[in-house]
Structure 1
């Protein structure tokens, strides 16, 4: 199975340091919906792995998160694409769960949901936590400059970025992957 795992906030949709708290605040990054559709149409299974501690912090509830994901799925479906599975962590950092990135739990959920291994899959994110979970689970890390990506790059050492593919956006990653990347 050809698998691409995507972080959500900052990769697919605009991010906010105050959290994306409602379906109205969930705004796709230009080109991201079309990029997911193109990857899906090219035979990639698409998974989303997202920390959603706003639930644990009481900023929004599961129904609002579901509405955000419904909006995302409808937009992608409208472009003839598909997200195969979404795994999210509702916990705060203080909860000590195994699903909050950079822990591997979300990737393990994706593997179970899709009955596949994530070994070698692309993992696209905008933070060091995304890079860390990609490495911990045998995925190929990709850092987008959208969302917190530029901040992540500014803080990263050269060693932090060894083996990390750096692209401007999810749309640019799709172009890279669909135009002959060595996978």
Structure 2
């Protein structure tokens, strides 16, 4: 009987872990397949500095008068109320331009059926200076009318190097969608 209870607890714990594991909605978030799935712009794949796997994405900017980066549009599963947005990021000598929001930028925009922006978008993080690899995670509510999200990773009017790896978007809540 005691062994049965222990086995039951182990099985319950295993099912609990499986229930929390969510599918990553990002295609090629680790950049293992070059820039497949991304609108790559000026991004480069580098095998020299990565968080995991065999490569990462590098956005290198030498001119602070431009916005250079990558993006990916992702369909939002029906009834998704909240998403967890994450990535491993590294900044090397990132110098912002004239505005406070300039730098190595990771942000999210939501889109409706006509690909029109819904709401103001969300800044996940903006980095300047030098930062070792660090995971950035933010939970974001899905606004009413949104059917897609657009991940944006860029050197926003800044100079330096922005390294990106293991980008992920996961549904964390199937709550009712945010009302506007």
Return the TM-score normalized by structure 1: 0.31
Q: Point out the structure with max Rg over C-alpha.
A: 2
TM-score, normalization by structure 2? 0.31
Write 1 or 2 for the structure with the bigger share of strand.
Answer: 2
Between Structure 1 and Structure 2, the one with more helix by share is 1
Q: Select the structure with the greater relative contact order (CA < 8 A; seq sep ≥ 6).
A: 2
